[in-house]
Amino acid sequence: MPSVTFDAASRTYLLRTSTTSYVFGLDAEDTPVHLHWGPVLTEGQAASLPRPAAPLASSFDGAGPAEELGTEAGARFGTPSLQIAFPDGARGVDWRHLGHTIDGGHLTVRFRDAVQPFEVDLHYRVRGDVLERWVGLRSEVPVTILRCDSAAWSVPSLSGYRLSHVTGGWSAEHQLRRTGLTVGETTLTSRRGVTSHHANPWLAVDGGDAGERHGEVWSCALAWSGSWRVTVTRTPSGSAGWTGGFGHEGLTWRLEPGEEWVTPAFAGVYAPDGFGGASRRWHDHVTQNVLPEPDELRPVVYNAWEAVGFDVAESNQKELAALAARAGVELFVMDDAWFGGRTGDSAGLGDWWPNPDRFPNGLAPLIDEVHGLGMRFGLWVEPEMVNPDSDLYRAHPDWVLHMPGRPRTLLRNQLVLNFARPDVADWAHKWLHRLVGEHGVDFLKWDFNRAFTEAGRPGAADQDRLWIDHVRAVYSIMDRLRADHPHLRIEACAGGGGRTDLGILARTDQVWTSDNTDAHDRIAIQHGFSQIYPARVMAAWVTDSPNPLTRRVTPLSFRFHVAMAGALGLGGDLLKWTPAELAEAAALVSRYKEIRPVVQLGRQDRLEYGVQYTHGDQVVVLAWRGPVAHGTPLVPLRLAGLDPLGRYRDEDTGALHHGALLMSPGLLPELLPAGDYASTLIRLRALGPGSAG
C-alpha cells in the first residue's frame, strides 16, 4: 500500500508505492535535497541514505546535491525551478523548514524564506504507482514570479542517459523519439497557449539500455493544457534531471500579498520493467485517478466531417445517420458548419445558434431522428474562438486576445477569445449550458484550431496571467457542464491531438488523436500516444480510401484493425461506400464490440508489429504490416504477460497454444490480404494450466 513517513532523527521523508520509493531530506541549512528515486526501500534504509556532497572543484562550480526545487540563492548555477524577485530586488529562497503534514498519501512540507515574508509549500501525493508533485506560494509582500515549476526531478547517476519524448506537427503528432541526452540543457516546450502538436508534456529517461520489457525507466508528465516548459539537464559531472511546469520564458506574474499561487501537478513514475512497464503504470494512473468516467466503455462514433465538410444540411446528416446506424454506430456527431453564418472557415464562429438556412426548424428534427435510430447525438463546438465575420465579434471586438497598436493576426481566419476575462468565460458557459440542456446533446467535440498570438489584455495590471487563467477557465466550464449535465461526454480536440495531456483528461472522456486518419500513419501516431495515454481515450476513425489527406489506398480491414486499437469511430463518406463495404464495416464494428472490453479496459503490451490487450482470461492481438521489400520475412510476434503454464484457445480457429510458446518463440499470424497493408485480429481465451481444451 502507498505510504508516507518521516524520520525525525535523519530528517528524511520516504514516499513508497508497491514498486518504488522516493526519498528526500533536509540538509543542515534546511534545503530539501533529493536522495533516492527507484526500487523500494525500508524506512531504515531510507534514513541511512547519505547526504550527497558535491565538493567544489573551483570557485566557478556550484555546490550541493540535487534539490527538490532549485532556486537562484547561493552558488546555484543550474536551471532554477523557482525564479522570483522581491520588492527590494532580492532573488531566490533561503530555505527555513516550518514543518509538514501527512494526510494519507498526501505530504505537504512547509518552508519560509529566512528574511522575506514568503512561504513555499512542496506537495507530494502517492496515487498507485505514481507520485504527483506541485508547489504552493504565499507572500506578505508583492512578488514577481519569473518561473514557478511544479517540481524538479533527479535520476540516479548512470553511465549514460537516453531521453524519450514525442514531437511532430499537425497531422503528425506523437512521433516517438529516443536520443542520447547531451551534456547541457534540453528544453521541451509549447509557447502556443495549448499543449501543442509539436511536443507533449511528458518524457522518459533511461540509461540507454532499457527496452519495451526490461530496464529501468524514469518518466514524468505534467497535468496542464496550456503553455508549458520542461528543461532536462545533464551536467558535465555526470548527473541528470529535469524541472518543469506551466508557462514559458518571457512571461512574468505578480503574486499579491495574501494570495496563494498553486501550480498544476507534475507526476512521476519509476518502472523497473522497461518502457512498457512505465506505460502501463501511466495507463493505470489515468484510469484510476484522472478520468471522470474511467470504467465506461467508449461508444462507436460516427463523425460526418470527412463526408460533407462545411456542406452540412439536415438532409445529408439524416442520410448519414441512417447508414451509420446500420453499421452499428452508437454515437452520431455532427461536425462544423451547423451554426450561425458558417459555410466555410471564414465566418460564423461565435454565433452559436442553428444555421436557419440549413436547419430551418432548428436541430430538434435531426436530434430526434438520431435518437430514434438508437444512437446518441453529439455536436462539434469551438467555444474559445471567433471569426471577425461574426455577430459576436462585431458586438465585442475587445473580447479577443490583442495588444494595443498591433495587428490582430488571423490564423485559420479566426481569433482567440480571452477566457481569462470572467465575462467572456461566463458567456461561453451560458450558451454551452443552454445548447446541451435545450437540445438533448449527449456529446461535445470541443475543438481549438489555432495558437495564441498577441496574447494581451489592454488595461490589465498583470497581463501574462491570461496564459494561465484562460486554461483554468476552460477547466472550470467543462467541470460545470459535467456537473449540470451528468449524461454529457466530451472529446478534447485541438486541430487533432494538440490538446492531449493529463489536465484535459481530468475533464474529458477521450481525445481526438490526430486529424490524420490514414491507418498507415496512425500506427506511429498511436504508438507514441500509447507511451502514456491508454487505449480507451484514443479516438481512432476508419475513413475513406484513398485517404482524404494522404491519398493512400488501403484495405478496409487494415483501416479497421488499426482503429480497433483504441476507441473506434467511423468518419468516411458512407454515402459513397458500396453495399459490400457497408456490410463488411457492420461486421467489423460488431467484432469490435466483442473485443471492446478487452481493448479499452485491459492491459496493453506493444508488440513488434502490433499490440496486445489482456483482460481477465481474454487476449486480443491486433497485428499489421505496411509496405516492405519483397522477400522480407515475417517474424513471430512474441506475446507478453501470459501464464507460461497455461493454455490458450484461438476463439476463431479453435487452435490451442501453450502460454510459454506464445511468449517465446511467439505466434506467427496470418496477415491478410496478401501484399501491402495486411493485418489481422486474433482472439485468445485462457483455459488454465495444463488444460487440454
**First vs last C-alpha separation in the chain:** 38
Angle at 503 between CA 228 and CA 543, to 5 degrees: 100
Q: How far is CA 137 from CA 93, 120, 132, 168, 214, in A?
A: 12, 5, 17, 35, 40
Helix (H) or strand (E) holding 122: strand 118-127
CATH number of 298-501: 3.20.20.70
Evaluate the CA torsion angle 219, 294, 303, 564 in order and state its sign. positive
The count of other CB atoms within 10 Å of the CB of residue 163 is 21
φ/ψ of residue 473, rounded to 5: -70, -40
User: Domain 3-290: what homologous superfamily?
Assistant: alpha-galactosidase from lactobacil brevis (2.70.98.60)
Sign for the pseudo-dihedral over CA of 673, 514, 436, 393: negative
Percent of the chain at pLDDT exceeding 90: 93
Cell 508557462 locates to: 247
Q: Are 187 and 204 contacting, i.e. CB atoms less than 8 angstroms apart?
A: no
Q: Which residues contact 25 (CB under 8 A, 6 or more apart)?
A: 10, 11, 12, 13, 32, 33, 35, 49, 51
Cell numbers that stand for 317 in this block:
446528416
The sign of the CA dihedral 149, 155, 157, 162 is: negative
Strands (E), 227-310: 228-234, 240-246, 253-255, 260-262, 266-271, 301-303
Q: Could you tell me the CA-to-CA distances from 596 to 362, 374, 375, 685 in Å, in that order?
A: 35, 19, 18, 15
Tell me which of 509, 515, 518, 605 is the catalytic residue: 515
| Pair 175, 168: CB distance under 8 Å | yes
Alpha-carbon dihedral 176, 180, 183, 188, rounded to 10 degrees: 0
Q: How far apart are CA 412 and CA 450, in angstroms?
A: 7
SS3 27: coil
What are phi and psi for residue 66, nearest 5 degrees? -65, 140
Q: Report the relative pairing of strands 143-148 and 82-85 from DSSP bridges.
A: antiparallel
For 97, the grid coordinates are 523548514
Q: Is 447 a catalytic residue?
A: yes
For residue 161, give the C-alpha cell.
542517459
Give one DSSP letter per residue of 136-164, joined into a string: EEEESS-EEEEEE-SEEEEE---S--EEE
pLDDT along the chain (693 residues), means of 10: 91 95 95 96 95 71 79 84 94 94 96 96 97 98 97 96 98 98 96 98 98 98 98 92 96 96 98 98 98 97 96 97 98 97 96 96 97 98 98 98 96 98 98 96 98 95 96 98 98 98 98 98 98 98 97 98 98 96 98 98 98 98 93 94 97 97 96 93 87 46
Summarize pLDDT for 244-266 with one digit per residue, the tens: 999 999 999 999 999 999 999 99
Confidence (pLDDT) at 58: 75
Task: Tell me which DSSP letter residue 348 carries.
Answer: -
The Cα 329–Cα 115 span in angstroms is 64
Report d(CA 471, CA 504) in Å as an integer: 10
Nearest CA to 622 out of 592, 642, 593 is that of 592
Q: How far apart are CA 1 and CA 684, in angstroms?
A: 33
Nearest residue to 551 via CA among 577, 594, 520, 528:
520
Judged by DSSP in three states, 46 sits in: helix
Q: Give the separation between CA 217 and CA 207, rounded to whole angstroms.
A: 8
Average pLDDT, the chain: 95
Q: Can you give the pTM of this predicted structure? A: 0.97
pLDDT of residue 692: 44
Q: Which string of DSSP letters, residue by residue, matches 446-508? A: E---S---S---TT-TTGGGHHHHHHHHHHHHHHHHHHH-TT-EEEE-BTTBSS-SHHHHTT-
Helix (H) or strand (E) holding 166: strand 162-167
660 vs 345: CA distance, rounded Å: 56
- DSSP-derived 3-state class of residue 599: helix
d(CA 109, CA 122): 5
Provide the residue ranges of all domains of the chain, joining segments of one domain with +.
3-290, 298-501, 613-689
Take residue 30 and report the three cell numbers written for it: 534546511
CA–CA gap between residue 482 and residue 52 (Å, rounded): 49
Per-residue DSSP letter, 210: -
Q: Does domain 613-689 have CATH number 2.60.40.1180?
A: yes
**Omega into 665 within 30° of 0, i.e. cis?**
yes
The active-site residue out of 129, 335, 447, 518 is: 447
For 184-202, the pLDDT digits (tens) are 999 999 999 999 999 999 9
Q: Which residue reads 523548514 in cell numbers?
A: 97
Q: Return the C-alpha cell found at 138.
A: 504565499
Helix, strand, or coil (residue 289)? helix
Q: Which three cell numbers stand for residue 290?
A: 484522472
The DSSP annotation for 382-414 comes to: -TTEE-SBSHHHHH-GGGB---TTS----BTTB
SS3 (DSSP) at 234: strand
